[in-house]
Amino acid sequence: MSSLPAVSGGSNRLLGDRCITSHLDAIYRSPNALISIPELHQPQWSCGIDRGSRGHRSRAVRTVSNSILDTSTSATLFILYTQALHFSPLSFKQLKENVEQFFTKFVEEGKATVRLKEPAVDVCLSKANASNLKSFLAAVRLAHRGTDVEALPLSVLVPAKTSEVEKPKTKMIITSRRDYPLTKNFPYSLEHLQASYCKLARVDMRMLCLKKLRTLDLSHNHIKKLPETIGDLVSLQELNLHNNHLESFCVALCNSTLQKSLQFLDLSQNKIKALPVQFCQLQELIHLKLDDNELIRLPFKMGQLSQLRFLSAARNKLPFLPSDFRNLSLEKLDLFGNPFEQPNPLVPSIQLKIPLTLLESAARATVNYRIPYGCHLLPSHLWEDLEVAKTCQCGSACLSCFIQTTVTMNLHHVAQTVVLVDNMGGTEAPIVCYFCSLTCYSQFLDRYLQSNR
């Protein structure tokens, strides 16, 4: 059997110490009609091959890079491979009535397995484009059923080039407008994408199709608004938006899959004045950078970020910290250069109504007794009010009836390392306190006066 190299885009990737995955690009047949996978534009697929008996299956270390043309006389489809370095052919025999089973449960994730009868081989495909993989499987099914190969729409067979045998691209760094791709898509296999200094005014929608993306760096651009669809990047762990023109952070992103994936967020050097209450639903955050914005307050429920370890919000316009801030447990905290107010617990802001309104009493009971509520049970304005309920020093909730004051807190209580908050060497900052009743405020005031005698 003579062979010719065919189009391929495969490469090797070591999986542990048992398997080398490669890319399956084409199925070719006998010379009556040179054929390949139906109109797949030579995609790159990862492929692992199981060889051996079904009872004691062993993982074959086979580097697959090129498909090979079978020049037998019959118009029969074969799966053939060659190694990337040695071009040694490996044939899986004909496909007609030779497929035992298809495993396609995870085809939408780019994974599938074709189990052949003879030889006893499982062709395992992974990291494939879902639509291309479906086309490939459809071609194999037709071949298995004995469909006339002349009726199949096929791409052109051409010799493989060394440049085409390359590893799927997982990292791309673009640092100038000139290098930014305008006419072609980003490789679907990207896990790290940096597009800095490209003068982007918006997030490129092509980036939002990269489902394997773990790191997205769009720093040093002109982005003013984030699309809600960033939340569809289910694998995204790091998002860098340093030095853009952002004025807000989208609430929809706080309610997206980023809640379970995002660990690093850099919003420094933007124009953000406030973050939404829902921001604290990003509970996997470990590193948060908010420096050099126009923040006049931090998220009300900041203490819910239980995984947060590094927080920097230097050079903003923060007058004080939210009461929930005391619940954080940080490794490093930087609040330098904020115009913190001088706290005065003796001059409170009193917004207490006696007797309490029915709305206030019902709201307090709902929160205190943990009665389930949501937008599907309550009018939106009531649900939103409950979401921002304050917590008294006694642990009880208060909605719109409370006494508010500020006290000094040593930042070392919430962080191991504290950057000085001013040029005077201070490590203290004012924090808001709420009280649900005159009784609670009086008890606090007694303790405060005794400690300052």
Q: Round to whole Å and give the CA distance between 216 and 409.
A: 36
Is position 243 within any domain?
yes
Phi and psi for 231 in degrees, rounded to 5? Answer: -65, -10
pLDDT tens-digit series, residues 238-290: 999 999 999 999 999 999 999 999 999 999 999 999 999 899 999 999 999 99
Task: Note down the domain range covering 301.
Answer: 171-317
- 233 and 145 share a domain? no
Who contacts 369 (Cβ-Cβ below 8 Å, separation ≥6)?
A: none
- 79 and 113 share a domain? yes
- 138 and 181 share a domain? no
Q: Domain ends where: 164, 189, 209? A: 164
Is position 401 within any domain?
yes
Is position 101 within any domain?
yes
- 220 and 309 share a domain? yes
Tell me the CATH number at 210.
3.80.10.10
CA atoms within 13 A on the CB side of 151: 5
- 157 and 184 share a domain? no
Is position 154 within any domain?
yes
**DSSP label of 209:** G
| Total length of the chain | 453
Looking at the 3D structure of the chain, how many domains does it have?
Answer: 3
Is position 222 within any domain?
yes
- 204 and 255 share a domain? yes
- Cβ distance 140 to 27 under 8 Å? yes
- 266 and 359 share a domain? no
Q: For 431-440, what is the mean pLDDT?
A: 95
Exposed / middle / buried, residue 232 (Cβ in 10 Å: 0-12, 13-18, 19+): middle
- Cβ distance 141 to 115 under 8 Å? no
- 367 and 298 share a domain? no
Q: Is the pLDDT of residue 297 over 80?
A: yes
Which of the pair, 15 or 293, is modelled with greater confidence?
A: 293
Q: Domain ends where: 126, 144, 164? A: 164
Is position 342 within any domain?
no
Model confidence band, residue 27 (pLDDT cutoffs 50, 70, 90): very low
- 188 and 286 share a domain? yes
Tell me the CATH number at 140.
2.30.29.180
- 156 and 176 share a domain? no
- 18 and 155 share a domain? yes
pLDDT tens-digit series, residues 350-376: 999 889 999 999 999 999 999 998 888
Is position 419 within any domain?
no
Q: Is the pLDDT of residue 70 over 50?
A: no
419 alpha carbon, distance to own chain's centre: 30
Q: Domain ends where: 164, 182, 197? A: 164
Is position 405 within any domain?
yes
- 51 and 151 share a domain? yes
